[in-house]
Structure 1
């Protein structure tokens, strides 16, 4: 069911079918209602999620107790990947922005699979690296937008030549 549901997902693109089926053995479907909290910033959590349909907001706390949306995760994208790397404290909160269907993985089980079956580990880590790279680019663009609002005094960057 997992492989069929996500066959068009960029996460599974390029991953051999045999590995897709091994990942499917770990995947558990989860349906979320709009506004449903998946995990909270600072909370210990051991699941990783791959969105099939819908949108999930990643929010962070700001002084004063409010939460600010930092990013929206959509179909084919992961969230909550900290458990894959052995960290279970969430750095953001995740809230369903609309009715969402996702696939949940035990971080421990997925990490163990990657450690023992290196071909699977290669493909999984490659996909996570791609996703992390996209998020880093998005963060940089947000920072540029933020700095543009304040129009700081600009200085030339020295040439390295």
Structure 2
């Protein structure tokens, strides 16, 4: 799975995407393994390659979202300036992710301001869409 195939990186400069791919690490996890927990340091975000992830919030682990589409992003906290993760991500089946470290990613963004601006507009749109999809579950 190339990052360029996901919505976040679609149509971006090929050198920008290559640099991001170069700093990404493939992570393979088994069903029921935890990717990150609410309160963990938000030092990376993840691009779903294959599998399904359940995102939960709070002490009672209330399910708020299931990521299942290749290219979906989890661990948004690292992209939005938060220091800790706001949810827990657990694998619902064997799952493959691309892990991207925040610090290295921001160094690349500094060299590609146009892509950085477009990327954060997409992040805002994706987060908005995810929030809208949650309205029925909290209403």
* TM-score for both structures, normalised by structure 1: 0.76
**Bigger CA radius of gyration:** 1
CA RMSD, aligned part only? 1.8
| Alpha-carbon shift at residue 7 of structure 1 (Å) | 4.8
* TM-score for both structures, normalised by structure 2: 0.87
Aligned counterpart in structure 2 of residue 20 of structure 1, from 17, 20, 41: 17
Q: Given the superposition, is the C-alpha separation of residues 49 and 106 from structure 1 closer, same or farther in structure 2, using an over 3 Å criterion?
A: same
| Alpha-carbon shift at residue 114 of structure 1 (Å) | 1.8
Q: For residues 124 and 95 of structure 2, what CA distance do their matches in structure 1 show?
A: 24
Higher relative contact order (Cα pairs below 8 Å, separated by 6+ residues): 2
- Unmatched tracts of structure 2, length 5 or more: none
How many aligned residue pairs are there? 138
Aligned counterpart in structure 1 of residue 66 of structure 2, from 72, 84, 91: 72
Aligned partner of 2:112 in structure 1 is 117
- Unmatched tracts of structure 1, length 5 or more: 145-161
CA contact 1:40–1:94 (8 Å) conserved in 2:
yes
Q: For residues 93 and 118 of structure 1, what CA distance do their matches in structure 2 show?
A: 31
